[in-house]
């Protein structure tokens, strides 16, 4: 999953004009020449759920690393099940330091992509195309270009004689878009292999430019909401539809859902969202900016938090949010329903137990409806990762060296879900630090039709990861 900062989309010109897409990357041409063919190969593998193609992507990336001089013994492809009948794999690479002075760094990413149908796209989604300064194809943005950037950055560091003073571990999963069993295994059963001081997640964040090429800023993720779905169920004795009664399961479920729709959980500030709003309020001079400043001054100011949350640009940033997403009920059109059920998906603030949210929802809807967690996925609270100075400094230095000293960098909480949440929950601080950038809103196509990434952004991301690793795994 790849989400870019929604607030950066405000006041963007509609027309696409010359901008950063047209500027050359600083990545040397010999390394640009290695990016394109590898990206083409991995994009043209349809590594969507159920097709069993993820191991092919893993082998292509592993082959590139072996060709770069990484020993075969340092590279492993581990098969596992993403779901019933869906075999996939994880790629694990360990660059062992000859003289380790610090605990390892873990780099996270995923090799699977969401489905794409040919009839929905202008081009074949699994045919790699370069056109107009862009690479097109499913996964170019989410997130095969990032996998290739990390792979080529490691190869470049190896070729230039870089000697890390800590182990660098790469962990690419095969089911982030679905079951996330790879992340679960990585943070539990495989923890001994993947244990690290902190993790760098390539699956989220980066930067945006407007259509005129002006930078809108880069963001670094250090917190993530917990994903949890609950079922709200109403049961009834039913009967014949010719004799309607007041106690109708569908009507009672509708009433319960209206209560959930109107409910607002208590607002919360944490270290990351405070830093985020400190940055955001600099750009807001009106009522929204005043609300941000008032809430920062007094986190107990619920009215100010409510005003912020009501803004489409900030939805989900101040509190836990829940929304009904699916419905089922009844068994015949001429019978009173004996059961009506809705799925309510919640994105829960860091550190909050899903059981507490279930209890709050149950109290809200009352005894006539039963609230139960989806048994197929029980969320685990994810703590806020501390804003480490070394990670922040390395990210800022890489971004500004590529894009200029004036770039603003903002910490942010991810309101979606990535594999990083499993490692945060397991006690490994995780930071979303990718260097990919887009022109917005034109390039916001992850999970959508005609997905693409600027060619220069794909090249720049190699430099970004090279500089990050030199800063965080090089001798001080």
Q: What is the mean pLDDT of residues 106-110?
A: 98
Task: Determine contact, residues 445/230, Cβ cutoff 8 Å.
Answer: no
DSSP SS3 for 221: strand
Whether 471 and 154 have beta carbons less than 8 Å apart is answered as: no
Report percent pLDDT > 90 for the chain.
Answer: 88
Nearest of 374, 328, 346 to residue 235 by alpha carbon: 328
237-290 per-position pLDDT tens digit: 999 999 999 999 999 999 999 999 999 999 999 999 999 999 999 989 899 999
- Does a cis peptide bond (omega within 30 degrees of 0) precede residue 41? no
Average pLDDT over residues 187-208: 96
pLDDT value at position 470? Answer: 98
The pLDDT mean for the chain works out to 93
Q: Are 72 and 50 in contact, with CB atoms under 8 Å apart? A: no
Per DSSP, 215 falls in state E
Tokens of 417: 């879900």
Beta bridge partners of 321: 347
Which domains are delineated in the chain?
Answer: 6-224+383-473 (3.40.630.10), 227-265+320-373 (3.30.70.360)
Average the pLDDT over 88-102 and give the result. Answer: 97
> Which residues, at least 6 apart from 314, have a Cβ–Cβ distance to it below 8 Å?
6, 7, 280, 288, 308
Average pLDDT of span 325-340: 97
Alpha-carbon torsion, ordered 344, 350, 356, 359, to 10 deg: -20
- The pTM assigned to this predicted structure is 0.91
Is the pLDDT at 328 greater than 90? The verdict is yes
Residue 4 has pLDDT above 50, yes or no: no
Q: 384 and 376 in contact (C-beta within 8 Å)?
A: no
Q: Whats the size of the chain, residue-wise?
A: 476
What average pLDDT does this structure show over 461-473?
98
Q: Which residues contact 74 (CB under 8 A, 6 or more apart)?
A: 93, 94, 95, 96
**d(C-alpha 223, C-alpha 458), whole Å:** 25
pLDDT of 2 higher than 60: no
Residue 3 has pLDDT above 90, yes or no: no
Q: Given a cut of 80, is residue 7 above it in pLDDT?
A: no
* Bridging pattern class, strands 339-348 and 321-329: antiparallel
How far apart, in Å, are the Cα atoms of 365 and each of 139, 320, 330, 358, 368? 41, 17, 20, 11, 7
* pLDDT at residue number 476: 61
Q: CB–CB of 256/232 below 8 Å?
A: yes
Higher pLDDT, 85 or 160: 160
CA-only gyration radius of the chain, Å: 24
The Cβ of residue 101 has, within 10 Å, a number of other Cβ atoms equal to: 10
- The tokens describing 271, both together, are 């270290």
Rounded to an integer, the average pLDDT of 221-232 is 96
CA distance 344 to 364: 13
Q: Supply angle C-alpha 312, 316, 317, rounded to 5.
A: 100
In this prediction, residue 11 carries a pLDDT of 28
pLDDT tens, position by position, 430-461: 999 999 999 999 998 999 999 999 999 999 99
| Per-residue model confidence as pLDDT tens digits over 130-178 | 999 999 999 999 999 999 999 999 999 999 999 999 999 999 999 999 9
**Amino acid 18: pLDDT:** 40
Please name the helix (run of DSSP H) or strand (run of DSSP E) that holds residue 35, with its range, or none: helix 29-43
């Amino acid at each position: 999953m790849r989400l870019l900062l929604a607030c950066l989309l405000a006041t963007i010109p509609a027309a696409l004009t010359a901008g950063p897409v047209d500027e050359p990357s600083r990545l040397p041409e010999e390394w640009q020449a290695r990016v394109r063919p590898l990206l083409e190969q991995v994009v043209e593998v349809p590594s969507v759920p159920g097709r069993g193609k993820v191991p092919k992507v893993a082998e292509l990336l592993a082959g590139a690393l072996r060709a770069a001089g990484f020993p075969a013994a340092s590279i492993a492809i581990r098969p596992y099940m993403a779901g019933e009948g869906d075999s996939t794999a994880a790629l694990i690479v360990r660059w062992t330091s000859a003289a380790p002075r610090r605990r390892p760094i873990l780099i996270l990413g995923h090799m699977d992509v969401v489905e794409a149908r040919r009839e929905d796209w202008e081009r074949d989604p699994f045919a790699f195309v370069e056109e107009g300064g862009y690479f097109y194809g499913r996964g170019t943005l989410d997130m095969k270009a990032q996998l290739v950037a990390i792979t080529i950055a490691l190869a470049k560091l190896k070729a230039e004689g870089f000697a890390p003073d800590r182990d660098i571990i790469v962990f690419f999963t095969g089911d982030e878009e679905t079951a996330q069993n790879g992340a679960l295994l990585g943070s539990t059963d495989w923890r001994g292999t993947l244990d690290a001081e902190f993790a760098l997640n390539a699956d989220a964040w980066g930067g945006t430019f407007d259509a005129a090429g002006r930078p809108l800023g880069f963001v670094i993720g250090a917190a993530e909401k917990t994903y949890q779905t609950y079922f709200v169920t109403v049961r009834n004795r039913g009967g014949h539809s010719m004799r309607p009664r007041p106690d109708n399961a569908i009507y009672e479920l509708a009433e319960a859902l209206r209560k959930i729709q109107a409910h607002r959980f208590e607002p919360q500030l944490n270290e990351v969202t405070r830093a985020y709003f400190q940055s955001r309020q600099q750009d807001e001079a009106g009522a929204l900016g005043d609300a941000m400043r008032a809430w920062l001054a007094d986190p107990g100011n619920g009215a100010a938090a409510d005003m912020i949350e009501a803004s489409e640009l900030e939805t989900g940033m101040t509190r836990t949010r829940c929304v009904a997403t699916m419905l089922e009920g009844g068994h015949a059109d001429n019978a009173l329903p004996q059961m009506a059920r809705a799925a309510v998906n919640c994105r829960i603030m860091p550190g909050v137990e899903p059981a507490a949210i279930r209890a709050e929802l149950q109290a809200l809807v009352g005894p006539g409806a039963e609230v139960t967690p989806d048994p197929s996925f029980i969320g685990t609270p994810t703590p806020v990762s501390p804003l480490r100075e070394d990670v922040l400094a390395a990210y800022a230095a890489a971004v500004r060296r590529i894009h200029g000293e004036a770039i603003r960098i903002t910490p942010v909480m991810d309101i979606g879900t990535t594999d990083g949440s499993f490692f945060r929950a397991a006690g490994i601080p995780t930071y979303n630090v990718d260097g990919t950038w887009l022109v917005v809103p034109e390039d916001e196509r992850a999970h959508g039709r005609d997905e693409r990434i600027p060619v220069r952004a794909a090249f720049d991301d190699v430099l970004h990861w090279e500089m990050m690793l030199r800063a965080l795994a090089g001798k001080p």
